[in-house]
Amino acid sequence: MGKATGFLEYEREEGRVTSPLERIQNFHEFHALLPMEEQQKQGARCMDCGVPFCQAGMMIAGMASGCPLHNLIPEMNDLVYHGNWAQAYVRLSATHCLPEFTSRVCPALCEAACTCGISDAPVSTKENERRVIEYAFANGLVSGDPPRVRTGKSVAVVGSGPAGLAAALLLNRRGHSVTVYERSDRPGGLLRYGIPNMKLEKSVIDRRIHLMEQAGVRFVCGTDIGKDLTGEELLSRYDRVLLACGASQPRDLDVPGRESKGIHFAVEFLSHVTKTLLDSDFSKLPDEDVKGKQVLVIGGGDTGNDCVGTAVRLGAAGVMQLEMMPQPPAERLPSNPWPEWPRVGKTDYGQEEAAAVFGSDPRRYQTTVKEFLADENGSVRSAVLVSLRPEKDEATGRLRMVPVEGSEEEIPADFVLIAAGFTGCEAYSADTFGVTISARGNVDAASDSCATSVPRVFAAGDMRRGQSLVVWAIAEGEAAAKAIDESLMGYTNL
């Protein structure tokens, strides 16, 4: 450890964040990096713990604690402190093949498990990681060179989200011939169309795709496996197939008035906005459905927050976001000790922006929609909300939210976005291969080998695990690449 007293000498600092009222004027990233010298001080804050929970990536009380990729975080932070950026990249890339994505969109499981965070602010590992990978790109350390030797084996990867990209990158690096199939017009999957540009600039994806193509990975876009090509056709062409199509089947609301016009699924909305911006080179603002409207976002997760931030940028007259569960506490409760994931409240960027524009936090907790009301044209005009209260289910012992009788309230809502999560993968993408589907709607594949019920077919990412974080998808993709490589070669050095 280079600076034994660094955590005592330096306070946590982060790069400049553009103010809400300024950043809502465009769809560009708004979180800058610290100067390199200041970032080195942040690396010095790492305590080099005897037990580095930050890189453990284990499940505690049903939640992940530390990095699922098992990044060698204290070692990387020490190299950051010494300004050895090239070696820090080598250390980071030993476990992580796509750090430019997680360093932007990951909720930083590593920081939540940081020992320094017990009594002080945790080490800014996420920003350290971003500085390392951006230095590596800027200085030509991230290679696009093809492997020196090809194995003669071929792999088809279905889906180009984080799991698919991670697997394709590693399998190609090993020497296998890899083709990635993507049903959208551009590669990236969830990274491209599920995450808004201000959270992840699409040029960051294009930069990585370009290098992967240089290294020999082939991308086939606009091809929907299960519709344009069957699973049988793919298995006849390739030695192995990896299903990494995500868990893109949205959870719907079964309430009266749901059929009204102006009610959309969140990811469909976010995808439309991003595609319009990209197709027009950011010259066209797709605000025709949102500008001047009262927007209701149903769902309190990351996707709901992205909808809030996007609606604000598109000129909404007002935004309300509904969360079914009670408002989390501001600080950890005794029942949620470190290093468990902290179940505490946070205000994300979209909510900050809505508060800056409209004067108050857009969230309403313990609330859901009971009914939608439409106008004479069949377009939604309002929503009837109902309050919820927690009640323990005597049969299961679990907490459930039940409506409070007489709490109904009608609010104006002429544009509604449903961000209530997902129920699993889209059935046709699994059915075409004949793989078994679990009770949760995901492909049933072994956690250790990623193998499905069909020989030569593997599954990874949200399609196997269910809706989760980008960092988990990358970890799944890396694990699948290792399993596929071993099945092809009899051993693996990935």
CATH number at 286 reads 3.50.50.60
In a domain, 147, yes or no: no
Tell which residue, 157, 181, 1, 154, has the closest CA to residue 74: 1
What is the rounded distance in angstroms from the CA atom of residue 381 to the CA atom of residue 374? 5
Half-sphere exposure for 87 (CA within 13 Å, toward CB):
10
CA gap 387, 136 in Å, rounded: 51
Q: Which domain covers residue 393, as residue numbers?
A: 263-418
The one-digit pLDDT tens for each residue of the chain (494 residues) are 668 899 999 999 999 999 999 999 999 999 999 999 999 999 999 998 889 999 999 999 888 899 999 999 999 999 999 999 999 999 999 999 999 999 999 999 999 999 999 999 999 999 999 999 999 999 999 999 899 999 999 999 999 999 999 999 999 999 999 999 999 999 999 999 999 999 999 999 999 999 999 999 999 999 999 999 999 999 999 999 999 999 999 999 999 999 999 999 999 999 999 999 999 999 999 999 999 999 999 999 999 999 999 999 999 999 999 999 999 999 999 999 999 999 999 999 999 999 999 999 999 999 999 999 999 999 999 999 999 999 988 888 888 999 999 999 999 999 999 999 999 999 999 999 999 999 999 999 998 899 999 999 999 999 999 999 999 999 999 999 999 999 999 999 99
The whole-angstrom separation of Cα 440 and Cα 422 is 10
**How far is residue 415's CA from residue 261's CA, in Å, rounded to a whole number?**
9
| Sign, Cα dihedral of 64, 443, 251, 313 | positive
Q: Of 138, 163, 186, at which residue does a domain stop?
A: 138
Query: Domain for residue 444, yes or no?
Result: yes
Q: Among residues 138, 163, 194, which one ends one of the domains? A: 138
What CATH number is attached to the domain comprising 33? 1.10.1060.10
Indicate if 44 and 165 belong to the same structural domain. no
- Do 413 and 427 have their domain in common? no
Q: How many domains does the chain have?
A: 3
Does residue 180 lie in a domain region? yes
Residue 257 belongs to a domain? no
Could you say which of 93, 113, 138 is where a domain stops? 138
Residues 325, 216 within the same domain: no
In a domain, 121, yes or no: yes
Q: Running DSSP on this structure, what letter comes out for residue 205?
A: H
Q: For residues 37 and 42, give the distance between their C-alpha atoms in angstroms, rounded to a whole number.
A: 9
Locus of tokens 């800056």: 356
**In this structure, are 202 and 230 located in the same domain?**
yes
Per the DSSP assignment, residues forming a β-bridge with 319 are: 295
The answer to pTM > 0.75 is: yes
| Residues 455, 347: Cα–Cα separation, whole Å | 46
Residue 435's identity, in one-letter code, is V
Residue 58 forms part of a structural domain: yes
Judge if 131 and 57 occupy the same domain: yes
Cα separation of 405 and 137, whole Å? 58
Residues 405, 271: one domain?
A: yes
Do residue 185 and residue 163 come from a single domain?
A: yes
| 494 inside domain | no
As beta bridge partners, residue 29 has none
What is the distance between the alpha carbons of residues 232 and 223, in angstroms, rounded to a whole number?
15
In a domain, 218, yes or no: yes
